[in-house]
Amino acid sequence: MAPPLTHDQWLTILRAEGVTVAEYPGWRTRQRDDETGKPFGPVHMFVNHHTGGRDARDVVARDGVPGLPAPLAHVYLARSGVATMCSAGRANHAGLMAVNAYNSFLNEESSHPAPSAASGTVDGNDVAYGIETENRGDGTDVYPREQYDAWVRINAAVCRHHGWSAASVGCHKETSIEGKIDPRGPVEGYGDRGRFEFTPAQFRADVAERLTHPASWSPGSTTSPPKQEETGMDLNDRVLLGDWVPKAWPDDKGLADKQITINTALGGGYAYARRAAETTGALLTEVRALRAEVAQLRAAMTKGT
Ligand SMILES: [Zn+2]
């Protein structure tokens, strides 16, 4: 049981997991809670979908389809691997779930029975996050490597945040009582693995593997990438200046050690550049005025001769 992720939490956990995130205009206010009068959450699982067509970002985030108003998912995942946030509220993606299947995810069981309407139904849109992954869904359209990688990362990020295992990750075809087939199709590759067929079991295994590593981990590598502190620079770090700087300003005591902080360099650079730009503008104005005067004088002299 968990309260739904806030808008800012979504962005934070996806970026921490190495996902490239875009924000669809209006996504912070777009949700189905108001229209239906039903609140979103508490949430208990993640449901994965394919779009069934290309370039469906606007449809999922803003337009919806007849009889099914947008948002149609919380996240839209393009073939490029870029994730677009569409909503953090209630979204129309899961429809009715079979209770027997839903309970197996709620309780994080190791196996998931085929959804049976006879077991009763639950409104999946109340209790599940959803992602629409761009794919024609015809069983032959390939999920590119970067798309599958981002897909695993997104599911893992949500599980990591809520403290869920990969057993909270499901697919639409595993929960729906309406005979859904998504997602399906070949995957170009993942980590050290070449082409393979998408299956919910393999997907959960990949999410589970990811959850054994820190969020910064990349598949196929046994070590984590170096931390930002080790490779990046701090604004208080000092950088060496070229010899020409103290030579140009020998009386500038601040440059005695031939070092400067990045902060000072950036601030100083901005101030000098701005001053230079303003001075140049003033000079140009004066030059134009002088040229006009010269032209007048020349005209007067020509008349005189
Ligand atoms: Zn679906």
Structure confidence by residue, pLDDT tens digits, 174-217: 999 999 999 999 999 999 999 999 999 999 999 999 999 999 99
Count helices and strands (H / E) in the chain: 11, 12
Residue 84: exposure state from Cβ atoms within 10 A (0-12, 13-18, ≥19): buried
* Ligand 1 centroid to residue 185 C-alpha, Å: 14
One DSSP character per residue, 255-275 reads: GTTSEEEHHHHHHHHHHHHHH
- What would the two tokens of residue 205 be? 């295994």
* Ligand 1 centroid to residue 217 C-alpha, Å: 29
- What would the two tokens of residue 66 be? 């007849």
Bond from prior residue into 71 cis (ω within 30 degrees of 0)? yes
* Ligand 1 centroid to residue 95 C-alpha, Å: 9
Domain boundaries, the chain: 7-211, 253-304
Q: Each residue of 69-121: pLDDT tens digit?
A: 999 999 999 999 999 999 999 999 999 999 999 999 999 999 999 999 999 99
Question: Dihedral, CA atoms, 143, 80, 13, 155, nearest 10 degrees?
Answer: -10
Q: Which positions ≥6 away from 237 have C-beta within 8 Å?
A: 261, 262
* Ligand 1 centroid to residue 94 C-alpha, Å: 7
As residues whose CB is below 5 A from the ion ligand 1, the structure lists: 49, 172, 182
Q: Right CATH number for 7-211 from 3.40.50.720, 3.40.50.150, 3.40.80.10, 3.20.20.140? A: 3.40.80.10
Q: Each residue of 218-258: pLDDT tens digit?
A: 998 655 445 444 556 777 777 777 777 777 777 777 676 77
